[in-house]
């Protein structure tokens, strides 16, 4: 019964998920890629590959599942609120979004094995904008072109981590990847009724898989000093998909012609390699750094093998836990900070579209008389167009996550 309840919550989370973006850059590729980690990781700049925390789930590296306590069941969920400011130098626009972000659980299956299950976003598409082009020779030929897109990809994963030696763990996530992405381009001529409006819609339905392989090695230098190195590898491959192109000429008042056809198109995801290192002092201070490399240039979009460029992301983060043995509430609050830089994977007009950097901060607020936490993270993200006529975006994101950390697997004594 418990497993049916948890699985129902996972599927409901997928139904509640909404696009968390209004970025015109999501017109390209599979959209805006989701963050790897949960709320605690996002407050630390997104570092995750080398983190091992028995109080939180780290799905970015399945080798970390062996860190869970033998008596603990962890249940984690989060939502994100986002405010965007977009500008191309002359036009500005503000937008607000919200989304049910992720939901996951973790428990220990054996002294040497941990299990995790969860629902995570993979990418988001959401935009609507238009341009008007004037004809200096014939004003009646002035036209308006509107671009609109929505959808995204999600993944439900089952993962396991195994302790090979005392300090060495390995793990794997197997994910079912699915979602729909719809993009429509419409052209209309307001002043010339003799020219029929035209629209072209591309609908992509993806059903495929992902495999993440992870390793973590921890070395204890002394009683208070330890370091962990983490590596994650995700092989790239083509995605199973059904792609439909629908064209429409005319409208309901003038009469219209619709043509729908299925097409064979290739979509790919990249080979991904992630490196991380984390240093921990006395169980109170954690400092971590990540490097993410994604080989998007070998992947295609709509059979276009030059749609992408390789992506790199560098992240730094820290967490401070004042006093695990302290009596005051503030001594048990976890303080987090971080920063990251990345160059997105999509091309715009044949060149890399933008650079992206961000600053993050947050808190882990303990729930009194439990081992559970409310995790708050704030992110400021700047997306800066590589050319003067490209769009610049400022985004402020607030992620609220709740981690229920309960002692379930122990025998109760009755007097």
This model's pTM is above 0.95: no
Residue 96 lies in a domain: yes
pLDDT at 332: 92
Residue 412 lies in a domain: no
Residue 115 lies in a domain: yes
SS3 content of the chain, % helix, strand, coil (to 5): 10, 60, 30
pLDDT at 258: 82
Residue 339 lies in a domain: yes
Residue 20 lies in a domain: yes
Which residue has 């929505």 as its token pair?
Answer: 150
pLDDT at 359: 97
CA distances to 104, 122, 160, 203 from 155, in Å: 11, 6, 16, 19
Residue 415 lies in a domain: no
Give the CATH number, domain containing residue 193: 2.40.160.60
As given in the structure block, the two tokens for residue 23 are: 């970025």
The burial class, CB within 10 Å (0-12 / 13-18 / 19+), for 378 is: middle
| Low-confidence residues in the chain, pLDDT < 70 | 1-20, 134-141, 190-194, 252-255, 407-415
d(CA 299, CA 259): 29
pLDDT at 16: 45
Residue 231 lies in a domain: yes
pLDDT at 55: 86
Residue 178 lies in a domain: yes
What DSSP string describes 80-131? Answer: EEEEEEEESSS-EEEEEEEEEEEEEEEEEEETTEEEEEEEEEEEEEEEEEEE
**pLDDT tens track for 399-414:** 999 998 876 655 555 5
Sequence-ordered list of residues with C-beta below 8 angstroms from that of 325, at least 6 positions apart, any chain: none
Give the domain range for residue 98.
2-407
pLDDT at 135: 61
Check if the beta carbon of residue 152 is closer than 8 Å to that of residue 106: no
pLDDT at 3: 42
pLDDT at 71: 77
pLDDT at 413: 53
- Look at the chain and report how many structural domains it folds into: 1
Separation of CA 48 from chain center:
13
Check if the beta carbon of residue 318 is closer than 8 Å to that of residue 325: no
């Amino acid at each position: 019964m418990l497993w049916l309840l948890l699985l129902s919550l996972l599927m409901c989370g997928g139904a509640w998920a909404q696009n968390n973006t209004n970025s015109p850059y999501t017109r390209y590729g599979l959209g805006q890629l989701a963050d790897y980690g949960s709320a605690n990781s996002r407050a630390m700049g997104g570092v995750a590959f080398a983190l091992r925390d028995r109080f939180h789930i780290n799905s970015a590296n399945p080798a970390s599942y062996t860190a869970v306590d033998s008596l603990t069941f962890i249940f984690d969920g989060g939502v994100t609120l986002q405010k965007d400011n977009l500008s191309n130098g002359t036009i500005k626009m503000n937008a607000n979004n919200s989304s049910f972000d992720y939901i996951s659980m973790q428990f220990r299956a054996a002294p040497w094995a941990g299990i995790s299950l969860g629902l995570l976003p993979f990418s988001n598409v959401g935009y609507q904008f238009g341009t008007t082009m004037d004809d200096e020779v014939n004003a009646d030929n002035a036209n308006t072109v509107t671009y609109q897109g929505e959808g995204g990809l999600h993944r439900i994963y089952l993962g396991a981590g195994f302790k090979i030696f005392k300090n060495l763990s390995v793990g794997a996530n197997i994910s079912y990847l699915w979602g729909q992405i719809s993009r429509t381009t419409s052209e209309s001529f307001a002043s010339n009724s003799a020219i029929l409006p035209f629209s072209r819609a591309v609908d992509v339905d993806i059903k495929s898989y992902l495999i993440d392989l992870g390793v973590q090695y921890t070395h204890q230098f002394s009683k208070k000093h330890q370091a962990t190195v983490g590596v994650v590898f995700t092989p790239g491959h083509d995605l199973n998909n059904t792609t439909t192109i629908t064209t429409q000429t005319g409208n309901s008042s003038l009469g219209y012609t619709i043509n729908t056809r299925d097409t064979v198109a290739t979509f790919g995801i990249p080979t991904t390699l992630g490196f991380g290192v984390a240093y921990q002092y006395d169980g109170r201070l954690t400092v971590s750094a990540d490097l993410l490399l994604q080989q998007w240039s070998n992947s295609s979009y709509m059979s276009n093998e030059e749609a992408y460029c390789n992506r790199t992301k560098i992240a730094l983060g820290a967490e401070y836990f004042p006093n695990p043995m302290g009596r005051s509430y503030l001594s048990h609050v976890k303080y987090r900070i971080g920063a990251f830089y990345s160059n997105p994977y999509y091309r715009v007009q044949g060149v890399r579209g933008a650079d992206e950097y961000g600053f993050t901060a947050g808190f882990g607020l303990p729930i009194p008389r439990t081992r559970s936490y409310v995790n708050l993270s704030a992110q400021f993200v700047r997306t800066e167009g590589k050319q003067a006529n490209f769009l610049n975006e400022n985004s402020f994101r607030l992620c609220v996550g709740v981690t229920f950390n309960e002692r379930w697997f122990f025998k109760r004594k009755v007097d």
